[in-house]
Amino acid sequence: MRQFHGANPYDRLTLWVKRLLVANFILFLMQMMFPEIIMTYAALRPINVIQKFWIWQLFTYAFLHGNFLHLLFNMFALWMFGSHVERALGSPFFIKFYLYCVLGAALTQGIMAPYAPVVGASGGIYGILIAFGFLFPDTIIYLFFILPLRAIQAVIFFVLITLVSAVSSGGSRVAHFAHLGGMLTGFLLLKFPVWKENFQLWRAKKRFQNPKGRRRVSQKKMHDLQEEVNRILDKISAEGVESLTQEEHQVMKQYAQKRN
């Protein structure tokens, strides 16, 4: 079991986390400059998707936010957890996972409140939180920077809070059902991935969930080790050698020793 202190400021942000951060801040600035046109065409209004077939709103809403604090909270969570999840899943699958969670959140909110406008990346962010708990269940995180919980316990806590909020929200402007939709979509994709043949989650979960497996790579079968090395080589090709974690450097070192 290990403690989690968020993203290391000295580690390079992963590819899609960086792009999502930049895109969200740019779109927020555009939203401030041209609020009427941006909100009309980019915010999610489920009834417009149905009646006018503005299907792009199922995704564009996730790059807009109600205010700066809304943006800051979501981007802080993306910065803290996103890179860990992207490294585990691989960049191509991470962005698909994120966008599916955004879509699932939009559809859920649309079913429950078809006339209410929706903005915010929370659906995708909650999907990332589910993925973090799924991949790193025993990692200790500090809820509200005070209460130490295992990652899976923190995820369960957020699910329960969101569920209660959704049921008792009344006239609240917070899209609690979108949060639930993002969580549910993330869970289903992790539990029953639709691209199972190519999805890297199963190797990632095995690699990260078991601390012994992480620290004692030499005990792996050579076939499993070769698969891990291939993944790391793909990462080097896509992001550069400086993107490797300390654990990945150790895997390559042990692989070289075995080959010799």
User: 109's torsion region: left (phi>0), alpha (psi -120 to 50) or beta?
Assistant: alpha
Cβ-based neighbour number of residue 248 at 10 Å? 18
Active-site choice (84, 122, 176, 243): 122
Joined together, the tokens standing for residue 57 give 């709103």
Question: Is 122 a residue of the active site?
Answer: yes
Residue 225 burial (CB < 10 Å; 0-12/13-18/19+)? middle
Q: Residues 104, 130: contact at Cβ < 8 Å? A: no
Active-site choice (65, 84, 176, 179): 179
Question: Is 83 a residue of the active site?
Answer: no
How far apart, in whole angstroms, are the C-alpha atoms of residue 218 and residue 183?
36
| Structural element, H or E, at residue 142 | strand 140-143
Residue 110 burial (CB < 10 Å; 0-12/13-18/19+)? buried
Cβ-count burial 50-65 (b if 16+ within 10 Å, e if not) = eeeebeebbebbbbbb
Residues annotated catalytic, as ranges: 122, 179
